[in-house]
Amino acid sequence: MQSPDPGPSDPGTSGPGSSGPATPPPTAPQTAPPASPRRTDPPRRTSSLSRRRIGLVLGAALFAGMLWIGPPAGMERTAWQVAALTGLMALWWVTEALPIAATALLPVALLPVMGAASLHEAAAPYANPLIFLFLGGFLIAEAIQRWNLHQRIALVILGLAGQRPDRLVGGFMLAAAGLSMWVSNTATAALMLPIGLSVLRMVESDRDAPSDHSGTNSGHHTGAALMLGIAFGANIGGMATLIGSPPNALLAAFMADRWGLEVGFLDWMAVALPVALVLLVAAWWVLCRAAFRVPRQGVAGIGALIASRRAALGPMRQAEAGVAVVFVAVALAWVFRPALDAALPGIALSDPAIAMIGALVLFLLPAGGGSGRALLTWEDTARLPWGVLVLVGGGLSLGEAIGTSGLAADLSGAMAGLAAWPGWLLVVAVAAGAMTLSHVTSNTATAATLIPLASALAVTLDMAPLMLTLPVALAASCAFMLPVATPPNAIVFASGHLSVPEMARAGWRLSAVALVLIAAAVVGMGAWGLLPAGG
């Protein structure tokens, strides 16, 4: 799941853990990192406190100044107030002047006070049905982590990768991406890291490891590629499903509220899964062939290491099996919902309802083992990323205010000069903007800020709104170049197996590929009439 933790300081990261009286199932032993990691310095965030203070003051000054000056001629006062709020939230999100989720509460606090919206209008988006889709997904993901099902899945995938370092990088990427479609990207990276370090210890101790022409032992290249493979796989996987990353659900909710267009789970996967798969293959090529020289010779003992970790988990317990059954049932119901609707005409299923039903079942099914507890308890929900739900709700509330206040129409008029630009260039521009902004703030805040603006621009240019909003949502998940851009980037950087220049060297290549791929996919779907305009 790309981002229940969309940025380095996003609220409420969900991770593996447990609570309650039952003893958690055994986990594989944590292997210490290699004896002499290359670099252990954490990513530098210079003058973080000063940046927050400056952002706090600048945001407040901008907001107060705009309200004091008043709207320009021809602009409604309400639209100007919403513009001031948009500027305030954008500045505070980028500088993290307040916790990101706290900034997302500004619409419900300020819109009614300014008279720009009623309390009901400002608060309703925080209970959007897509919020409950995410809540159900978070609960299911928590159960998967609580009973270590995600670790078993990862080890099964890694067991198929073989002993060649380049194939192992691909195996780690596939496992990370597959898990991140359903589980938070932070939890995915935290799970995969110790397994990856164990594998690297064997690779680096291989006395026969060849050196490239620069004299660098290929073990270091493998280490950098493997660490980045974990991070990039976790980031890319969240693009593929509607619950994989908050920008995905935020776009779906915005399209439903603003344009009356339902984007279901299967609809999203039909568009985003092919993009994610191609990008995952491109990421493997960048890491193993372009940015680094990962050897193709097998390393003895890696298969035995993976097998030993699987053996340490023991046989699948009743709790794991129960969670697996619920997870598979929910995923199949999402994918085949149109067929279920046709087969059950008296029942109105929806993706959020399916997610919540699956989550509630987890509170009912026993974990077994004589513990007397269920697969999920309310104490377990303390680890849920509740702040992300607030963040998505705040983005939707701001987007709704931009539309209903008339600000969207004013922005459309201001951007009319862009009509001379070719459509493909506009798609590239908005995707590049989202990709750049997501390197300095959370991808959810990026999407919340840019999706309403991209929608207004699309209306101005007589384009389907998805032509410009879809690339924003997808590109917001493509922050590959800096350690502070996403939690997985920071986690693998702290392992000491790569430097900032090495991450940037691989990241800019993959960012360029992602930009071209997203633009080509969106422009192609638009040309073939596959992007509905909405009502």
pLDDT, tens digit, 9 for 90 and up, residues 266-308 = 999 999 999 999 999 999 999 999 999 888 887 778 888 888 9
Q: How many CA atoms lie within 13 A of 487 on its CB side?
A: 26
Nearest 5 degrees, angle CA 131-CA 186-CA 322?
A: 70
Give the residue among 223, 194, 246, 280 at the shortest CA–CA distance from 491. 194
In this prediction, what percent of the chain has a pLDDT beyond 70?
A: 88
Residues 6+ apart with CB under 8 A from 231: 176, 189, 480, 486, 488, 489, 491, 492
pLDDT at 400 over 80: yes
AA letter at 45: R
List the structure tokens of 438.
């997501």
pLDDT (tens digit per residue) in 421-432: 999 999 999 999
- Find the helix or strand (DSSP H, E) in which 147 lies: none
> End-to-end distance of the chain based on CA atoms, in angstroms?
30
Give one DSSP letter per residue of 124-181, joined into a string.
GGGG-HHHHHHHHHHHHHHHHHHTTHHHHHHHHHHHTS-S-HHHHHHHHHHHHHHHHT
Q: What is the pLDDT of residue 438?
A: 93
pLDDT at 498 over 70: yes
CB count within 10 Å of CB 216 equals 12
CB-CB contact of 3 with 392 (8 Å): no
In this prediction, what percent of the chain has a pLDDT beyond 90?
A: 64
Q: Distance (Å, rounded) from C-alpha 317 to C-alpha 344?
A: 34
Higher pLDDT, 181 or 30: 181
If pLDDT is split at 50, 70 and 90, which confidence band does 371 have? confident
Give the residue among 398, 477, 461, 395 at the shortest CA–CA distance from 427. 461
Query: How far is CA 78 from its chain centroid?
Result: 33
Give the residue among 86, 216, 120, 186 at the shortest CA–CA distance from 388. 186
Q: Distance (Å, rounded) from C-alpha 138 to C-alpha 1?
A: 9
Q: What is the pLDDT of residue 531?
A: 82
Whole-angstrom CA distances from 510 to 212, 241, 463 are 23, 20, 28
Q: What is the pLDDT of residue 293?
A: 86
Q: What is the pLDDT of residue 32?
A: 39
CB count within 10 Å of CB 61 equals 12
Q: What is the pLDDT of residue 348?
A: 86
Q: What is the pLDDT of residue 234?
A: 95
Mean pLDDT confidence for 405-420 = 84
Give the residue among 230, 220, 224, 251 at the shortest CA–CA distance from 474. 251
Q: What is the pLDDT of residue 217?
A: 54
pLDDT at 33 over 50: no
